[in-house]
């Protein structure tokens, strides 16, 4: 039985913050990442929460990410923002961009934020959720180092490349939160199994020869299985266009891996679209969206994407989060 310890969200944020600062990250860069870590744990996505803090710390110390980076925000067009993350954490650049993106989207009806020269942004849905909580319909894209081969091929050329869509409920939360990678499962889950010495389920990964395997180490040297076959590859391609080509970031095929210490900064990208629903719907958005989601929820056993995360989020605010005790020891040792 795995031993756990329950922490409040504030305690998780504080622990993550102290560990990141101790590892060489400025307080200005550590805070957005610590907040996102607590939000991720609250949503039940433990693979991207505190479990990533030792990796972040190692990457700051080896130079894969610049913990001292100072992102720069520009506005080349009236509704366009561009953030250069300066090889630092994506979270700081995204925070800087969102401060202007939210009022800009309300003013213009729609606005976009392109982020380049950045590092892993963690759970993409955490960022789109924030825009939905501000009352905006949001779309998010982020590319990653190559781990998915083209359909019919064997050499990875695109990443697991998540896409996220968050629709506001008009009450400060998201009515819908879609957050999915182009692969059957997020690569971080395979890495987690590898760290724990556990086999992965069939259908998650392929080895270097393109053959199915349950060995996570072999899968990490091969390719992730795309979700829905060629359709998953198409999603990864679309995200690569949005998050790399549209931002000027590094393509996943040549980006250094998010795992390990070799290769220097990955310099990947993110792209966000924020829309004021009232600009196009004549203030009918909330009513139509509610009718749509209720048609899902009224069916026994059915749910809307994001429902499970919302339940976990609300529970975590009241009860805290159970965290693996061994992991806590590792993070506390860093902090």
| Structure tokens that stand for 119 in this block | 């590092």
pLDDT given for residue 192 in this prediction: 83
Please report whether residue 199 resides in a domain: no
Q: Which residue has the higher pLDDT, 227 or 119?
A: 119
Please report whether residue 194 resides in a domain: no
Question: For 272-282, what is each residue's pLDDT tens digit?
Answer: 999 999 999 99
Question: Does residue 86 surpass a pLDDT of 90?
Answer: yes
Question: For 120-155, what is each residue's pLDDT tens digit?
Answer: 999 999 999 999 999 999 999 999 999 998 888 878
Q: How many CB atoms lie within 10 A of CB 184?
A: 18
pLDDT given for residue 209 in this prediction: 84
pLDDT given for residue 54 in this prediction: 97
CA–CA distance, 115 with 249 (Å, rounded to integer): 8
Active site residue 48: yes
Active site residue 107: no
| pLDDT confidence tier of residue 19, bands split at 50, 70 and 90 | very high
Question: Does residue 1 surpass a pLDDT of 80?
Answer: no
CA–CA distance, 90 with 33 (Å, rounded to integer): 9
pLDDT given for residue 223 in this prediction: 86
Question: Does residue 249 surpass a pLDDT of 80?
Answer: yes
Please report whether residue 70 resides in a domain: yes
Average confidence (pLDDT) over 39-58: 95
Which CATH number fits the domain that encloses residue 134? 3.30.1370.60
Cβ neighbours of residue 183 closer than 8 Å, sequence gap 6 or more = 147, 148, 160, 224, 225, 226, 227, 232, 236
Identify the sign of the CA torsion 125, 16, 318, 136: negative
- Number of structural domains in the chain: 1
CA–CA distance, 108 with 104 (Å, rounded to integer): 6
Average confidence (pLDDT) over 318-329: 96
Of the candidates 47, 118, 188, 223, the residue annotated as catalytic is 47
pLDDT given for residue 153 in this prediction: 82
CA–CA distance, 166 with 139 (Å, rounded to integer): 7
Please report whether residue 330 resides in a domain: yes
Average confidence (pLDDT) over 284-298: 97
Please report whether residue 210 resides in a domain: no
| Structure tokens that stand for 103 in this block | 């009022």
What CA dihedral angle connects 100, 106, 110 and 111, to 10 degrees?
0
CA–CA distance, 228 with 297 (Å, rounded to integer): 24
Please report whether residue 201 resides in a domain: no
Q: What are phi and psi of 266, to 5 degrees?
A: -75, -30
Of the candidates 13, 41, 175, 189, the residue annotated as catalytic is 189
CA–CA distance, 65 with 82 (Å, rounded to integer): 19
Of the candidates 13, 41, 48, 227, the residue annotated as catalytic is 48
Please report whether residue 202 resides in a domain: no
Active site residue 47: yes
Structural domain that includes position 288: 4-183+226-299+302-306+313-334
Average confidence (pLDDT) over 221-239: 92
pLDDT given for residue 72 in this prediction: 98
pLDDT given for residue 221 in this prediction: 87
Please report whether residue 195 resides in a domain: no
């Amino acid at each position: 039985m795995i031993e756990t310890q329950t922490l409040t969200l504030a305690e998780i944020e504080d622990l993550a913050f102290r560990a990141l600062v101790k590892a060489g990250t400025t307080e200005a860069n550590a805070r957005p990442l610590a907040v996102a870590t607590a939000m991720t744990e609250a949503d039940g996505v433990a693979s991207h929460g505190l479990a990533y803090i030792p990796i972040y710390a190692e990457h700051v110390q080896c130079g894969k990410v610049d913990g001292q980076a100072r992102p720069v925000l520009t506005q080349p067009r009236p509704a366009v923002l561009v953030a250069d993350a300066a090889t630092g954490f994506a979270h700081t650049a995204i925070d800087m961009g969102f401060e202007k993106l939210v009022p800009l989207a309300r003013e213009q009806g729609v606005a976009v934020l392109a982020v380049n020269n950045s590092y892993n942004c963690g759970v993409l849905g955490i960022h789109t959720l924030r825009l939905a909580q501000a009352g905006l319909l949001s779309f998010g894209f982020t590319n990653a180092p190559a781990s998915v081969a083209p359909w019919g091929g064997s050499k990875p050329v695109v990443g697991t490349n998540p896409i996220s869509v968050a629709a506001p409920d008009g009450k400060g939360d998201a009515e819908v939160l879609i957050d999915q990678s182009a692969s059957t499962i997020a690569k971080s889950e395979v890495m987690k199994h590898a760290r724990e010495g556990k086999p992965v389920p069939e259908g998650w990964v392929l080895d270097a020869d393109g053959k199915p395997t349950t060995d996570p180490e072999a899968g990490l040297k091969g390719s992730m299985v795309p979700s829905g076959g060629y359709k998953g590859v198409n999603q990864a391609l679309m995200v690569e266009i949005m998050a790399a080509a549209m931002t000027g970031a590094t393509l996943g095929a040549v980006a250094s891996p998010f795992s390990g210490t070799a290769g220097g900064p990955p310099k990947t990208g993110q792209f966000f679209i924020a829309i004021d629903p009232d600009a196009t719907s004549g203030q009918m958005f909330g009513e139509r969206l509610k009718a749509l989601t209720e048609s899902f929820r009224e069916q026994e056993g059915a749910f809307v994407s994001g429902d499970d995360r919302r339940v976990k989020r609300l529970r975590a605010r009241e009860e805290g989060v159970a965290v693996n005790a061994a992991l806590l020891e590792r993070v506390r040792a860093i902090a």
